[in-house]
A and B are shown apart, each in its own frame.
Chain A
Amino acid sequence: MKNLPIDPSKVPGWGVDANPKNDPTYPMRDRSHEDKRGMSWNRPPQQEETVEILQSIERNNLTAVFGTSTPPSGVSGILRRQAFRYSESEWAHWLMLLAADRVNVIEGVVEDLGRGRIPNIPGEMGIRSELAHNRSGLVRKALIAGAVLGVGIFAARIATYNKGGRRSGTRRS
């Protein structure tokens, strides 16, 4: 399909929100509330801290409400606590959190197995929809994975054979 000329005036709603005064626009610094500086607002009541909440060191206090999903735990939790020793401006903070996320994936599998559940990883990755809508892509991925695996096994065998050959050659000499 080709692009056709568009007459803006025929587009429904064209210009209804046009406002030449809308420049500069949102978000702008609003100075009308700057009579009091700092955290001078009436803070909402404080939520009770029932689980461990990691707090940015760039903040003075816990926010009035916070999420209580999946508190830090295990090895990933140790890494996360370490990460929160650094400010959000430090790469160490974010890279340690990313590392913790990867460790957490392994912990998740261990947790599943510990509960007697073998995770259905292909199912969790949506293999059913891949089969339904991209079967050729799935076959291609499988072939590529098989080829990479095959080359790896072949290379490992050659390496083992050469190692064995060199050893026997040494013995012969």
Chain B
Amino acid sequence: MLAMNYRGPYRVRVDRKPVPVCEHVQDAVVRVTRTCICGSDLHLYHGMVPDTRVGMTFGHEFIGVVEEVGPSVRNLAVGDHVIVPFNIACGQCHFCKQGLFGNCHESNSQATAVGAIYGYSHTAGGYDGGQAEYVRVPYADVGPCKIPSNMDLDDAVLLTDVVPTGYQAAEMAGIQPGDTVVVFGAGPVGIMAARCAWLFGAGRVIVIDHIDYRLDFARTYCPAEVYNFRSLEDPVVFLKKTTDSLGADVCIDAVGGDAAGSALHTLMGTKLKLEGGSATALHWAINSVKKGGVVSIVGVYGPTGNLIPIGNVVNKGITIRANQASVKRLLPRLIEHIEAGRLNPKALVTHKVPLEEIADAYHIFSAKLDGCIKPVLVPPSARR
């Protein structure tokens, strides 16, 4: 089969690899019909995530058709077209029982600090991902969800991560009616977080980024007030001034470790790798939220540590909420939102690229060329 092959920072290609097989009685093998490049894949692509091995296949956002099931699989059958949540979860452990499907204790031997994620380094379990024609899906009875018959496949593939992560960012923020919500990052997740903030009753939604075309999209899609931080002398001061000097009720970090805007964080986090990524957005979020407010983090950081103003968290009494999205928990409600027309994820898709052209797709997304917001990869078998 064809599969993405990571060769080192900023280098990927498509190679032939063996078709995966069921390695466990609860496994399935899925033929991929759509797969995306996620903003967090760029952290891998940029060489920021420890234990990212040459030869691995990335891809944690994918949907596909079940081709094979292990002997213990009961809920799926060959031929089912399924949404596969990005996190691998057993459904039985202490954490899964709490709905913490992103924190399963039975799927990642190599770290306790993170659950297992398809195609997201060995730090996240060492599973090959879905940027391929076929992928192994463990615990097939737990995560996968059949795609509703009338759902567009581009909507379905965005339900694997972007929509639930954006929604959970707003949910974790505990938004109360009338709240002012600031979202740092106008990537797909930030845009979705800003869109979902309204569902929770936000009174004002502000999006901060430095890419104008994305801000223009967010302005009409979310909708939101948008500001390019490069045009602001100090985004924290600006946000204080625009909230009567108090700060926002809620700040959402939807950027993670690839943030621009601070030479110090860029040097320490992305160049020298002495931080778990550049924490500029988180830094600004902590300093822009009001006293007693909430900072909700869905941006991805590495496991080492970051220079953030933790003293301000203490002194302002800030609540920090963060997690990988619990996709399985959220899917039923999010499917309702799409079917009711309240959410339109497929509008985020700007590029549909053959899997064979993955190197160009990564570069376009990483360098933010050609107005790219969300690239979807289509394997050859899904194009026939």
Contact = CB atoms under 8 A, between A and B. Distances in A.
Interface residues of B, number: 96
Contacts of A16: 199, 342
B200 A44 contact: no
A150 interface: no
Contact of A25 (B202, B321, B367): B321
Q: Which of B8, B9, B93 has the most CB of A within 10 A?
A: B8
A44 B109 CA distance: 14
Contact of B26 (A45, A58, A129): A45
Contacts of B200: 15, 17-19, 22
Contacts of B127: 67, 69
A172 interface: no
Interface stretch (B75-83, B220-228, B253-261, B376-384): B220-228
A17 to B, nearest CB: 4
Interface in A48-75: 48, 50, 53-56, 58-59, 62-70, 72
B98 A94 contact: no
A128 interface: yes
Interface string B105-133: 11111111100100000110111100000
B332 interface: no
Contacts of A95: 50, 304
A166 interface: no
B304 A101 contact: no
At the interface, is chain B mostly helix, strand, loop or mixed?
loop
A74 B85 CA distance: 33
A24 B359 CA distance: 43
A56 B11 CA distance: 28
B304 A91 contact: yes
Given A6-B223, A67-B122, A126-B359, A94 B302 contact: yes
Interface residues of A, number: 81
A12 B52 CA distance: 41
Given A13-B337, A17-B200, A101-B51, A88 B363 contact: no
Contacts, number: 256
A16 B175 CA distance: 12
Contacts of A83: 51
A63 B106 contact: yes
Nearest to B370: A133
Contact of A129 (B172, B319, B321, B363): B363
A119 B369 CA distance: 24
Interface string B126-160: 11100000000011000000000000000000000
A112 to B, nearest CB: 8
Contacts of A23: 174, 176
Q: Which of A20, A50, A63, A83 has the most CB of B within 10 A?
A: A63
Interface stretch (B54-62, B233-241, B310-318): B54-62
A124 B106 contact: no
A88 B305 CA distance: 11
Contact of B112 (A62, A88, A132): A88
B26 A41 contact: no
A107 to B, nearest CB: 7
A43 B92 contact: yes
A120 interface: yes
Contacts of B139: 44, 65
Contact of A70 (B26, B56, B305): B56
Given A56-B109, A94-B302, A125 B359 contact: yes
Contacts of A6: 204-205, 223-225
16 contacts: A18-B199, A18-B200, A26-B168, A27-B326, A30-B98, A48-B23, A59-B109, A70-B54, A91-B304, A104-B8, A105-B8, A105-B11, A107-B54, A124-B359, A126-B363, A129-B369
Interface of A: 1, 3, 6, 8, 11-20, 22-27, 29-30, 33, 39-45, 47-48, 50, 53-56, 58-59, 62-70, 72, 76, 80, 83-84, 88, 91, 94-95, 97-98, 100-102, 104-105, 107-108, 111, 119-121, 123-130, 132-134
Query: 10 closest pairs, A vs B, by CB?
Result: A126-B363, A67-B126, A18-B201, A13-B342, A67-B127, A105-B8, A97-B50, A129-B360, A108-B54, A133-B369
